[in-house]
Structure 1
Amino acid sequence: MSADSPVTAIVVAWNSADALPECLEALTREGVAIIVVDNASSDDTAAVATAHGAQVIRNARNEGYGRGNNIGVAAALSDYVLIINPDCAPDPGCIAALVAAAGRWPDAGMLAPRIIEPDGRLFFQRRSLLSPYLTNPPDILRLPEGDCCAPFLSGACLLMRRAVFGRLGGYDPNIFLFYEDDDLCRRVADAGLALVHVHDAVARHGRGKSAGRAPGRIFRARWHMAWSQAYVAHKWGLRSPAPTTALVNGCKTLLALFSFRRATIERYAGSAAGALAFLRGGQAVTREHLEPAPDERNGG
């Protein structure tokens, strides 16, 4: 680990032993300090991280993505932190290009590279649930050809000044999984800072390879997706999608039972259950046996 690096990479991992080597080798080539936050993995995640020279923080339980990153950033000492998924690997020069862009654009609160998906497509989300300040035509996709401001930057790989991350409170600790990056992007924008897509920086994202295929994984993921969407909508004063999500997916679950396809049933049942849990006042972190933070539903 490079102790004097201006950048510390924070990698939150859960059963990510298979995906980690490519990520950590790429980060090591970039010369950055590396902190792997192991969310109580049952595989060799911690051992793999240690073997690659990373500082490893072993959580006693799965703290979720946002809380895991907050823990990692709190342990960093560098000026910048790079939030990166275990299944994402920066190309040579990627991190240096992000830091250089931060120097060019001093009003940038968050910067992200050009993220390439496994099929070669460029990931660029032209709108977000929480980005009314940048409304792009819904039927027209214009991909960036250079640096530009964006309504949303993916948490798969992003660079922030550690001081800015701390000043904004980091990730919302009440979100266990999903939409935590939308929420942070909104707070960056509301603080008067820009979200900048840096085109000369490139990272490769092996989407979906960061965690093992545990039983019930689809139900759990869809539960959190539905709950988190409802949570951030309520937090930012938007119309709640939870009633519609619960009703539509409840009906789809009943129909899916006749297909006898477990994955399909889990997908719809998980979405319905997550939305219903939110409507009943349930907390995502409580479901995961964690203590909820002070209620932020009415905060911004």
Structure 2
Amino acid sequence: MSIKNKIVLNTEPNIYLIIVTYNPNDSLLTNISNMSVFVKEIVIVDNASSNKKILNKVRSLDSCNVTIIENIENLGLATALNQGIKYALQNKSEYIITLDQDSYFEQGSINVLYDRIVNLPDVALLGPDVINLYTKKRKYPKFKFDDGLYYLQACVMQSGAIYRSSVFEDTGLFEEKLFIYYIDDDFCKRLATNYKIAICNDAILYHEEGENGEKIYGGRKIFYRKYSSNAMYYISRNCIYMIKKYGVSESKRLFTELRNILLFQDNKIELFKSYSSGIKDGIIGKFGERHEM
């Protein structure tokens, strides 16, 4: 499939940066200040934050290229991203970057991503290398091809990735019924049928993956994520969605999270109940936001 975007060099990047927020802290202000000069517009989509202090500070910034979309309820990450994407498409964006509120780029990385994707017309989605702020480990291999890219046929994390805007018209938007978790996995699966997905090792994103834990097991240090019961529900439920849609090869995380619950997590009973509830709802096809009984 051909890319619809016309590549025009030596012009101001027509990039829209979308950040979904929920009770953000001051780091959002730093991110906006650091990135506003590299993009045409920053779109903040706020999912009904109870504390409006930071959003009010954003409004008072001198930068004139920030738009805020406020939701009156938490619509989930997928819907919020789609709101920002629709806004960017309506304003004729050529490229879109999505970013979590707890992520930030190494200086110059946005330019690197843009320069790469402009000159690689067969690549529709390009992600940076990702460094976990807790473990200091890179998400992707350190080696690279001659062109600085590590090609993937799997998933690129949506936070920090740059997309050709046209792919959303061809592939569709993020799957809103997933609410949160696996939205990037599902999108990449759909995208990879017609386009190339790649990682640029020369661009770096620092990403905070929530609260982490570590334990010694079998003489090895094991790092794991500490999830809330609500997060565990979405993970297990949406994993079932992926299995039903793409096959049993998507089942690995189900076993990984079950192992972590049984061996490492502290609130085992509560997490296991949510894990089981998520599997049940995934099987019967109950999606959207979780409404606990």
Residue in 2 aligned with 1:102?
117
The match for 1:8 is 16
CA contact (8 A) 1:17 1:43 kept: no
Identity over the aligned pairs, expressed in percent?
Answer: 23
The reply on whether 1:176 has 2:186 as its aligned counterpart is no
Task: State the superposition RMSD in angstroms.
Answer: 2.8
Check the 8 A contact 1:66/1:177 in 2, yes or no.
yes
Map Cα deviations across residues 131-175 of structure 1 (whole Å, 9 max, x no partner): xxxxxxxxxxx5333312012211121000111123211101211
Equivalent runs, 1:132-281 vs 2, <5 Å: 142-145=141-144, 146-150=148-152, 151-191=154-194, 193-208=195-210, 218-238=228-248, 241=251, 252=262, 261=266, 263-281=267-285
- Give the superposition deviation at 1:59: 1.0
Q: Which AA in structure 2 matches 1:276?
A: K
Separation of aligned partners in 2, 1:109 and 1:95: 16
Q: Which amino acid counterpart does residue 236 of structure 2 have in structure 1?
A: A
Higher strand content, 1 or 2: 2
Aligned residues: 250
Is the 2:19–2:42 Cα contact (8 Å) retained in structure 1?
yes
Question: How big is the shift at 1:69?
Answer: 0.6
Separation in structure 1 between the aligned mates of residue 26 and residue 270 of structure 2, nearest angstrom = 25
Cα 1:241–1:201 change in 2 (3 A) is closer
Structure 2 residue matching 1:190: 3-state secondary structure: coil
**What is the CA–CA distance in structure 2 between the aligned matches of 1:268 and 1:197, rounded to whole Å?**
35
AA matched with 1:86: Q
Could you tell me whether the CA contact under 8 Å between 1:22 and 1:89 is conserved in 2? no
Q: What CA deviation, in whole Å up to 9, does each residue of 1:199-242 have, x standing for no partner? A: 11122112228xxxxxxx70110000011111122122447859
Give the structure-2-normalised TM-score: 0.76
Counterpart CA distance in 2 for 1:48 and 1:274 is 38
Tell me, in whole angstroms, the C-alpha distance in 2 between the residues paired with 1:186 and 1:63: 23
**Counterpart residue type for residue 171 of structure 2:** L
Map 1:38-57 to 2 at 5 A: 38-44=46-52, 45-52=54-61, 53=63, 54-57=66-69
Q: TM-score, normalised by structure 1?
A: 0.74
**Do residues 26 (structure 1) and 34 (structure 2) align?**
yes
Return the match for 1:123 from 112, 116, 139: 139
1:78-114: CA deviation from partner (whole Å, max 9, x where unpaired)? 2100011111111222111111111221111100112
Match of 1:65 in 2: 77
